Structure 1
Amino acid sequence: MELRQIRYFIEVAEREHISEAAVHLHVAQSAVSRQIANLEEELGVELFERVGRNVKLTPIGKIFLTHSVSALQAIDYAKKQIDEYLDPKKGTIKIGFPTSLASHLLPTVISAFKKEYPDVAFHLRQGSYNYLIDSVKNRELNLAFLGPLPPKDSAINTAILFTENISALVPSNHHFAKREKLQLIDLRNEAFVLFPEGYILNKMVVEACNSVGFEPIVSSEGEDMDAIKGLVAAGIGLSLLPESTFYDSTPRFTVKIPITSPEIRRTVGIITPVNRELSPSEKVFQQFVIRFFSILGQYQ
């Protein structure tokens, strides 16, 4: 069985058309047909059935496709690691991140890293908190930023980069707008703008409010940081947001006020798999990020 046969098989299976697969592979249609026939002969089964001018996978062909895709991904990953061992400064790094870290942390870190390693490429994937954890565990990602960090377990390593406060964001015409600080219990009768249930920042706010004896009154929900801030600016309600989301600026028509009792904080860090080696480029990036925030912390 040859690697070429596997690649041809996957291409035909995805396009369900031999001639279209041949065009995409830049080879003659007869070459594709011959390699598929050789593969079927070697395996002793029919992988495709002919339906007019098209082809469809047989039941055993569908099973073989699943394993072929996994095998090809493993081979491509191995080749990528070899290339990076030869020159880790020219690899590709795939990173997962949540919406709460998209506006400041991610561009700041990548911009600083690219100054030292300009030839490294990035593939960025935004996702929910649980999706990112599952992606690291299930081999889709090797690195993901998260806040707060989940507990370390048998499948993931965690590294804290910094810890930050959660502050209140209120409309500029709100009766709390001139306050220098707030106690969380002060907000018990206020309308809240939160992320939907299932989002980690929703869970953090609800648990914090519950800890001082009330359930937040949710007037509206937004699925990204800009939506939350926009709803607060429009006077729909107030919100509790991490300090890092205010680094660039506090939105117009809003005021940020610290919560002092109780102080609400979250950890922000990076997670990696326990049972897999990072690629050389990923290791370089991970070490850079940890060093970057260590140095930054000395001046804060």
Structure 2
Amino acid sequence: MKLTHLRDVAAVAERGSLRAAARYLGVTQPAITRSIREIERELGVALFERRPKGVVLTPMGELFLRRAVSVMGEVRRAREEIDQARGLSTGQVAVALSSAAQIALLPHVLPGFRKRYPEVVLSIRAGLFPATETPLKDGELDFYVGPLPETATAKDFIVETLFENTRVIMGRHGHPLAGATSLAELTGARWISTAVTVDSRAEFGPLFERYGLPEPVVEMHVESGIAPTLAAASTDLLIMVPEQWLGFAYAPQMLIPFQIREPLPAAAICMVTRARLPLTPAAEHLGDLFRRAAMHYVRAREQRQHSAP
């Protein structure tokens, strides 16, 4: 088995046909066909199912592709690690960030990273841990920064807490419950869930139960991005989001925070990396910048709290 076999399988899977893969790789279609047949013969299984308008992966092909992508990613990282150790500013880094991490940390991270590694391509994926766990495990992502579900396993990962977090309840301007000062006054409201998991109990249940209140009614689940803001701004649904949303440029224009007296704890913001393999120098530098940005954020938050009347 050669790396070209892995490359060809990945190209055919991505492009959907042998011809398109050959064109993408700059080789002949017979060469791609021969490569696929060789690897299928060696494995003893069919990796692709031939169809009139192209090919699709078989179940065995999907299993093989996942490993192939992981192997190619590690080979790429090995080359980049050597190049970066030699002082070259080349390669790529891929990370996944929650909305809170993007708002609170990313603006403080990018200038330093671009200055140190101006030629490294930075790929940023927005999302929460459940959607990024497999790509992280397979090596498509270098690390994740954001909250973790309570059931997340750390067996394959190194989890580092960057800072503890809290939440804020927000609704549209002119919301009929905007004057509420306690959770009890919101028991009749309907909610948008933005939890790390689709189980809204993880987001609302323990908090409301702590104060002897019924569990809220959730009408919508949105993982991250601007969609929760747009949904809450155009309806009477409420959202309970990390406090970092108060610093998001568009949120204050579309939503108002409710001055609820009960504490609203949130899942801590963590950095998650794979346990078995080290980061490249560029990815490690980016991780350090996130750690420094988190320290700066915590200090700034403490100063605001001390100066508040």
Does TM, scored on the shorter chain, surpass 0.5? yes
> Aligned-residue CA RMSD in angstroms?
4.5
Aligned to 1:75: 75
Q: In the aligned structure 1, how far is the partner of 2:107 from the partner of 2:287?
A: 15
Q: In the aligned structure 2, how far is the partner of 1:197 from the partner of 1:296?
A: 22
Range that drifts further, 66-75 or 239-248: 66-75
Check the 8 A contact 1:168/1:256 in 2, yes or no: yes
Q: Deviations over 1:163-202 (max 9, x none)?
A: 23211213333454346xx333332233333348933777
Letter in 2 for 1:84: Q
Check the 8 A contact 1:220/1:236 in 2, yes or no: no
Q: Deviations over 1:109-162 (max 9, x none)?
A: 334532443333211223343222343334332300112575673322222222
User: Cα–Cα, structure 1 residues 2 and 208, in superposed 2: closer, same or farther, change >3 Å?
Assistant: closer
Q: Deviations over 1:192-245 (max 9, x none)?
A: 333489337772223312222223433631524533333333341322221101
Q: Shift of residue 271 of structure 1? A: 0.9
Q: In the aligned structure 2, how far is the partner of 1:275 from the partner of 1:126?
A: 24
Q: In the aligned structure 1, how far is the partner of 2:20 from the partner of 2:163?
A: 51
User: Cα–Cα, structure 1 residues 199 and 6, in superposed 2: closer, same or farther, change >3 Å?
Assistant: closer
Q: State yes or no: 1:245 paired with 2:245.
A: yes
- TM (norm. structure 1) is 0.73
Q: Shift of residue 40 of structure 1? A: 9.3
Check the 8 A contact 1:164/1:267 in 2, yes or no: yes
Q: In the aligned structure 2, how far is the partner of 1:111 from the partner of 1:172?
A: 35
Letter in 2 for 1:163: E
Aligned to 1:91: 91
Q: Deviations over 1:257-284 (max 9, x none)?
A: 3433244233112111112211111111
Q: In the aligned structure 1, how far is the partner of 2:44 from the partner of 2:29?
A: 22
Check the 8 A contact 2:194/2:241 in 1, yes or no: no
Q: How does 1:289-300 map to 2 (within 5 A)?
A: 289-300=290-301
Aligned to 2:279: 278
Q: In the aligned structure 1, how far is the partner of 2:61 from the partner of 2:199?
A: 41
Q: Shift of residue 57 of structure 1? A: 10
Aligned to 1:288: 289
User: Cα–Cα, structure 1 residues 240 and 89, in superposed 2: closer, same or farther, change >3 Å?
Assistant: same
Q: How does 1:47-58 map to 2 (within 5 A)?
A: none
Aligned to 2:185: 186
Q: In the aligned structure 1, how far is the partner of 2:140 from the partner of 2:8?
A: 24
Q: Shift of residue 246 of structure 1? A: 1.4
Aligned to 1:206: 205
Aligned to 2:305: none
User: Cα–Cα, structure 1 residues 133 and 13, in superposed 2: closer, same or farther, change >3 Å?
Assistant: closer
Query: 2:122 aligns to what SS in structure 1?
Result: strand
Gap regions ≥5 residues in structure 2: 302-309
Q: In the aligned structure 1, how far is the partner of 2:217 from the partner of 2:116?
A: 45
Q: Shift of residue 64 of structure 1? A: 7.6
Aligned to 1:215: 214
User: Cα–Cα, structure 1 residues 135 and 208, in superposed 2: closer, same or farther, change >3 Å?
Assistant: farther
Range that drifts further, 92-101 or 22-31: 22-31
Range that drifts further, 234-243 or 170-179: 170-179
Q: In the aligned structure 2, how far is the partner of 1:146 from the partner of 1:15?
A: 32
User: Cα–Cα, structure 1 residues 7 and 160, in superposed 2: closer, same or farther, change >3 Å?
Assistant: closer
User: Cα–Cα, structure 1 residues 40 and 265, in superposed 2: closer, same or farther, change >3 Å?
Assistant: closer
Query: 1:90 aligns to what SS in structure 2?
Result: coil
Check the 8 A contact 2:47/2:60 in 1, yes or no: yes
Gap regions ≥5 residues in structure 1: none
Q: How does 1:165-184 map to 2 (within 5 A)?
A: 165-178=166-179, 182-184=181-183
Task: From the CA coordinates, give the structure whose radius of gyration is larger.
Answer: 1
Q: How does 1:16-31 map to 2 (within 5 A)?
A: 22-27=22-27
Check the 8 A contact 2:161/2:269 in 1, yes or no: yes
Aligned to 2:137: 137
User: Cα–Cα, structure 1 residues 3 and 162, in superposed 2: closer, same or farther, change >3 Å?
Assistant: closer
Q: In the aligned structure 2, how far is the partner of 1:20 from the partner of 1:165?
A: 49
User: Cα–Cα, structure 1 residues 66 and 238, in superposed 2: closer, same or farther, change >3 Å?
Assistant: closer
- TM (norm. structure 2) is 0.71
